[in-house]
């Protein structure tokens, strides 16, 4: 245990731990897990996944912008009728929020930080959005819900992959669930005022 300083432990740790009763192997294993965890959140694969996810999110929103306003006229309880200008304005704002959340999380790059949970809330929300309303509406209405294909091919699988990587990295699952619920509620609560402003700010 003479190499404890080289392993980056400070005096506080040395004072609290009886080194004669501590296994060298256990200390090394803990350090190794920590280093691997940090690398996983900053490696090229993880960054690429985040960038592909935000690209898929954008394509998904474009698909909805083109076809959803017309579909909403016949969507009954799944979506109230909405004008194209209202929907496009809301989509633009939500897309900007998604990009901001992603960029901040990539820069912060700290699993377990408030920024990581906000980001995972966004990712989880888009994963859930695949099921409700897209898949459910398609099945119950027996008519394709705009956004389903991009959600199934991009949003859902990528959201699962990203969230699993963060869970493996050791984030708190309960905080993760709360983050997804909170982000979903916040975005849903923003839609009505966004639709209202969109009707005033965008005219076709």
Please check whether residues 121 and 32 belong to one and the same domain: no
Please check whether residues 34 and 56 belong to one and the same domain: no
Please check whether residues 105 and 6 belong to one and the same domain: no
Please check whether residues 35 and 48 belong to one and the same domain: no
Please check whether residues 20 and 55 belong to one and the same domain: no
Please check whether residues 5 and 80 belong to one and the same domain: no
List of long-range contacts for 27-33, beta carbons under 8 Å, 24+ apart: 27/1, 31/7
For residue 27, pLDDT over 70 is answered with no
For residue 34, pLDDT over 80 is answered with no
Whole-model pTM? 0.79
Please check whether residues 196 and 107 belong to one and the same domain: yes
Count structural domains, the chain.
2
C-alpha torsion 164→169→172→173, nearest 10 = 10
Please check whether residues 52 and 36 belong to one and the same domain: no
CA distance 142 to 135: 10
Please check whether residues 123 and 63 belong to one and the same domain: yes
Give me the pLDDT at residue 166, please: 95
Rg (CA), the chain: 22
Please check whether residues 61 and 134 belong to one and the same domain: yes
Closest by CA position to 122, among listed 182, 41, 189: 182
What does the pLDDT look like over 131-177, one tens digit per residue? 999 999 999 989 999 999 999 999 999 999 999 999 999 999 999 99
Please check whether residues 33 and 105 belong to one and the same domain: no
Peptide bond into 133 cis (omega under 30): yes
End-to-end CA distance of the chain: 73
What does the pLDDT look like over 78-118, one tens digit per residue? 777 888 999 999 999 999 999 999 999 999 988 999 999 99
List the single range of 2-11, 92-101, 192-201 with lowest mean pLDDT.
Answer: 2-11
Give me the pLDDT at residue 18, please: 64
| Residue-range definition of the domain harbouring residue 72 | 43-201
Percent of residues, the chain, with pLDDT higher than 70:
78
Give me the pLDDT at residue 163, please: 97
Q: How confident is the model at residue 14 (pLDDT cuts 50, 70, 90)?
A: low
Give me the pLDDT at residue 98, please: 98
Q: How confident is the model at residue 186 (pLDDT cuts 50, 70, 90)?
A: very high
Please check whether residues 51 and 78 belong to one and the same domain: yes
What does residue 148 show for φ and ψ, rounded to 5 degrees?
-65, -45
């Amino acid at each position: 245990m003479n190499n404890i300083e080289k392993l980056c432990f400070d005096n506080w740790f040395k004072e609290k731990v009886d080194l004669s009763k501590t296994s060298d192997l256990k200390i090394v294993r803990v350090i190794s897990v920590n280093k691997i965890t940090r690398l996983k959140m900053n490696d090229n694969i993880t960054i690429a996944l985040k960038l592909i996810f935000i690209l898929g999110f954008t394509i998904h929103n474009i698909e909805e912008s083109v076809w959803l306003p017309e579909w909403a006229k016949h969507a009954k309880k799944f979506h109230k009728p909405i004008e194209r200008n209202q929907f496009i304005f809301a989509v633009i704002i939500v897309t900007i929020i998604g990009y901001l959340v992603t960029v901040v999380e990539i820069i912060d790059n700290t699993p377990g930080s408030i920024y990581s949970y906000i980001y995972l809330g966004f990712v989880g929300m888009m994963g859930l959005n695949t099921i409700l309303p897209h898949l459910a509406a398609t099945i119950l209405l027996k008519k394709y819900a705009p956004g389903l294909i991009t959600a199934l091919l991009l949003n859902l699988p990528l959201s699962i992959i990203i969230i699993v990587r963060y869970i493996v990295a050791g984030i708190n699952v309960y905080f993760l669930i709360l983050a997804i619920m909170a982000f979903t509620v916040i975005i849903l609560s923003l839609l009505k005022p966004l639709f209202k402003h969109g009707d005033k700010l965008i005219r076709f």
